Structure 1
């Protein structure tokens, strides 16, 4: 398998809300996956001035932060502060504390962590449901 055959680590989840950006983060996130994520977020911001975000970590194996362009990271943080209202993370690791280091002391983003067994509560907190293939695996 070459790099063109690799499955992306960032995978969109279709939801019952147009203004909810939901993704699975599967395995290891390479720099290209990270750059792609920021592009997907920019597209969501273009469609909706305010969005909520749900990140489900599946067999998470780290992120190549050092290989993502610094300007992309800075702009990503700025734009998140401008556009994201709530962000739910599901699964291990709980990276909320790490995310807060990139944000001001009292960020306008409401961040909340949920254990994988509490996934239904995360969806409820965001007033949404997954639709399609993964919906059958989420207890509501």
Structure 2
């Protein structure tokens, strides 16, 4: 059996608040990456009625758009909206800010885009801090 040496494109970052969740997204995002992230969020919803979320995007290489329209993913998105108080998106491609501005009026959560250089401001906006990575 071969071991997959490709690191995951979605990685959870521990925070200093139980109800604050953070994810780092890199590379090309696949259906399994999206399903993994929604699985982690489903666990968060079991523990907390409402959460704050920060998504940090860097080295973005694209997205498997067919993954966005799978039944499980659409259910995850719909379920997520009612549980998220604030969502900060840091970095990513240029169109992210425009997409957030377009959809913001239709969402029940507060959502804001921050440039990569504004990382500290994004963490402050959700009121949490990343914990050091285990060595």
TM-score band w.r.t. shorter chain: 0.7 to 0.9
2:99 aligns with 98
Question: Could you tell me how far 1:116 is from its partner in structure 2?
Answer: 0.8
Cα RMSD (Å): 2.2
Aligned length: 132
2:52 aligns with 52
Question: Could you tell me how far 1:67 is from its partner in structure 2?
Answer: 3.4
Unaligned segments of structure 2, at least 5 residues? none
Unaligned segments of structure 1, at least 5 residues? 135-140
SS of match in other structure, 1:60: strand
Tell whether the 8 Å contact from 1:81 to 1:109 is kept in structure 2 after alignment.
yes
**Aligned equivalents of 1:54, 1:84: Cα separation in 2:** 10
Relative contact order higher in (CA < 8 Å, ≥ 6 apart):
2
Question: Could you tell me how far 1:47 is from its partner in structure 2?
Answer: 1.0
Give the strand-richer structure, 1 or 2.
2
2:64 aligns with 64
What's the CA shift string for 1:76-123, capped at 9, x where partnerless?
Answer: 22112210110001112252543576x684311111001111110001
Tell whether the 8 Å contact from 1:15 to 1:131 is kept in structure 2 after alignment.
yes
TM-score by length of 2: 0.86
Moved over 4 A (4+): none
Question: Could you tell me how far 1:68 is from its partner in structure 2?
Answer: 5.0
